[in-house]
Chain A
């Protein structure tokens, strides 16, 4: 399995519900980033969490990081139809200005 694996692979929820997506990784990291990608479009940077941080918030987004379990979760509260997209976690192992390793992504569908 690869660094930065997300689960579930696909998630379908009703508008207004919360969506929780998980990411696991194998090697030590410096930072973990979450991105959103709408179909056929580029990636939008959502949030970065450093290895010495445990939780971070940005609007309706909440990210947690557990370095002992090598896992992270992205919570989207009060989901909207516009949140429908693929979500990727990406890790960098050697600090700033280094390559990112991506998982295969989670497809989130929010039903209106």
Chain B
């Protein structure tokens, strides 16, 4: 049973470009969460999704960021017009009950 998968593992973008981060949950999990981690900090919640629904986006910046979890395929976190401050590690987690299991993360570097 494969764990949570994220790709790409590393992503470099120039300011103003778009970043697309993908997350495939563990088999049998229908709940997906995205978190952001800045250097030397803990993880900060961004958004919680179920298939085709955003359940909680209280941690998501109002502009440039969007997330989806379509009926088929992985969950996508999209960051438009990236800025240097978006450089961070973005982690996806999935769950079917209380325990959340994390993927390896995508490290985004904005030049």
Give the size range of A's interface with the partner: 20 to 34
A87 to B17, CA, bound (A): 34
**A45 with B100, Cβ < 8 A, contacts A96-B95, A97-B31, A99-B59 known:** yes
**A96 with B105, Cβ < 8 A, contacts A101-B45, A104-B41, A105-B42 known:** no
Partner of A42, one of B40, B99, B105: B105
* Majority secondary structure, B binding face: strand
B43 at interface by CB-CB < 8 Å: yes
Q: Chain A contacts of B104 at CB under 8 A?
A: 41-42
Chain B: interface residue total (CB-CB under 8 A): 27
A48 to B98, CA, bound (A): 8
Which residue numbers of B lie inside 8 Å of A, CB to CB?
31, 33, 35, 40-45, 48, 55-56, 58-59, 91, 93, 95, 97-105, 107
Given contacts A43-B102, A96-B97, A97-B31, 16 further A-B contacts (CB under 8 A): A4-B42, A30-B98, A33-B100, A45-B101, A45-B102, A48-B98, A88-B43, A95-B98, A97-B48, A98-B56, A99-B45, A100-B33, A100-B35, A100-B93, A102-B44, A105-B42
